[in-house]
Structure 1
């Protein structure tokens, strides 16, 4: 080492500085640049990435919750109620619910059906004739009067009375779609409704249709049961006058009793083809 270089080193050592050669300085610059490219997750860019991940998780959670809610709706009473459209009107006439098309054809027969929501044979008849009755009503070829009975309540007001009351409360609104679908479901799911449903469940079923909340409330709080008791007694008395007993199902066509026929399985057959010409 030359004397000049030695002197330079002594001066640098004394001042606390250490020189690096040019290669070392260049390498240092490269290291600094490289370090600037890798940012800590705690910096602003990292926070943005974190928020994006959280947003995706939140959206996924919302989708899962929505699907779960939709599933629960399908499983609820309201979600299970049928929604068949009808082309006829409904009104309460005395103790009967009368269904007829606004364009009822001349000479169309009037059919009276005496039935009890707890009667298994009534449910079987409904299963057999429901589609035919709906079609004939929509076409204006038939008028139907449902006379609801409650004699199956052997020990006082029970399922038959509750269901008759709910059906009458709905019919009084004039909402034919609501009455038709509720009536059909109560017959179709008779075992479940009779054995497991109370007024609360009947109210939920009615709420599946476009009805005023007061109607639904009257079913849930048992007020509609009074209607069931009234029509059950009135229709029972009327049937006794006609055939000297109360049983169901009983069908009258233009005032004359129709003999319900049985199919090969012993269950009632649809009567519509015999009546509607």
Structure 2
């Protein structure tokens, strides 16, 4: 099985007043990075938490996918603001401008989460890729400029690319806690993901991760003094198709050594195999 690599791009502040700043993302970036590293992910050097413009986000994401090694599994984690407009999904760059909803403005200052990423993945050597998007924090409705609503479905992936979205298309993603609390403010989705990954010691598919996230998010939600509305993460594609291996299967401690010894000719002449197995543990 190939390596697992992650690119983390968090955008905590924005030039436009249409997008409130998300300063708590700076702590979340460090925490998510540490959690993934603890689970064996190689964190790409282009990762960071900064005021990335849409052009910079596109460059880092495209380069990450293009540089994939054969058999590699890639996770792209995007955290910030996002929206849906004209049937398309967008992740907001720090320079995001939604004042004019023209095609050129949208494409120049936001990253579209559409079919082009599936084509880039298909052209690369990557085995599987998954975009984790914690960006549906607001259903922004600029006054007098039309609605930036939410889509009915997550972005469309394919056999090699999945999208894991923090919430259902018609719901905002919740932020829990408060600035004065010891843990400050935090994303319900990202906190749940960190807890699920930290507690998992076996193979974990994207389907299973989504199910565990839903349960963990509900537990976190109900423990709040003022619980937000229920939030359900969404995964692109139909159930049962090829899924991103979030965590690979881990061999049992000593398993490889036991198998080598059992293949040895001496094993067939061992009379007390139960005792021999116990000694090998």
Normalising by structure 2, we get a TM-score of 0.24
Indicate the structure with greater helix content: 1
Structure having the higher Rg: 1
Structure with higher RCO (Cα < 8 A, 6+ apart): 1
Q: Normalising by the residue count of structure 1, what TM-score does the alignment of the two structures yield?
A: 0.24
Higher strand share: 2
